[in-house]
Amino acid sequence: MHAHPSPPSSLRQRARAATPTELDAIPWLAVLDTAQQRKVAQQLQVADAQVGERICRIGKQANFWFGVIDGLLKMSNDDSSGQAITFTGVPPGGWFGEGTLLKRECYRYNIQVLRPSIVAGLPIDNFHELLKNSLAFNHYMLNQLNERLSQFIAAREIDRISDPDLRVARNLAALFHPQLYPGVGSMLRITQQELGYLVGLSRQRVNQALNTLARHQLIRIEYGGLRVLNLQSLRCFPQAVPAQNPEHANGSPR
């Protein structure tokens, strides 16, 4: 038996072509015409990223537009000189960094892998080529930037919230955003420990918050993740908690 060589340390060295299934998981490909889709499929690079790896680093030049095919990433500024802030999690279907690429700047945040993930990257020159030649891609990008702006405004508000249940509810609602993270659907694969990393709370406190949200029938805790039952009410928690049957308000009939 021969020992398998360890994988190359660089994510770039592990890059490969995307499979047809992985291409199907990229939401913006559908807005391109057939010729553009074929060209992008040849330009895209995909790699398997391990827990703890950095996809982007503060101060590093942006060379790719990145997206998550599967897995979970964390966007934060935890190596900067300022106060540590987790901006958002990035679940399946999420693409990020377009603002940095548009200005050809260096990253102002870190992107770290929270669970084994499949990450895709489109080279920056191909990204700008799409912007130049595809009106549909421009429309997609405008929507993306608009939703991203709203997301970061909300993230700043969340960062000031001291109530743990409300912090968990707001962060969960952000992870189920249908425009930014269309690959999630109604079921997000995430552990309570991973959610704790994103929210800035202990796993035990996250567990309490999730059980509170489950009692209000906003989410259901399932094996390997969470299912959202009422996204609009989750976004507006606690003001928009659905009325419960009086017989079951305390968990059992009187």
- Mean pLDDT throughout 80-102? 82
pLDDT band at 239 (very low <50, low <70, confident <90, very high): confident
> Residue 140 and residue 179: Cα distance in Å, rounded?
10
Q: In the chain, where does DSSP find H-type helix? A: 20-24, 34-43, 98-102, 124-133, 135-159, 164-175, 192-199, 203-215, 231-235
pLDDT band at 248 (very low <50, low <70, confident <90, very high): very low
DSSP label at residue 187: E
Per-residue confidence (pLDDT) for residue 50, from 0 to 100: 93
| Inter-helix orientation angle 135-159/164-175, to 10° | 170
> Residue 168 and residue 171: Cα distance in Å, rounded?
5
Per-residue confidence (pLDDT) for residue 244, from 0 to 100: 54
Percent of the chain with pLDDT over 70: 88
Please indicate whether the domains covering 11-160 and 163-242 agree at the CATH topology level. Answer: no
Position 60 pLDDT exceeds 70: yes
- On whether the 163-242 domain is CATH 3.40.140.10, my answer is no
Kindly give the pairing relationship between strand 86-90 and strand 45-49: unpaired
Per-residue confidence (pLDDT) for residue 157, from 0 to 100: 73
Q: Please state, in angstroms and as integers, the Cα–Cα distance from residue 220 to each residue in 7, 66, 107, 198, following that order.
A: 38, 30, 36, 19
Per-residue confidence (pLDDT) for residue 30, from 0 to 100: 95
pLDDT in tens, 112-145: 999 999 999 999 999 999 999 999 999 999 999 9
> Residue 109 and residue 87: Cα distance in Å, rounded?
9
In the chain, where the domains are located: 11-160, 163-242
Higher pLDDT, 226 or 77: 226
Position 8 pLDDT exceeds 80: no
End-to-end CA distance of the chain: 66
CATH-assigned architecture of domain 11-160: Sandwich (2.60)
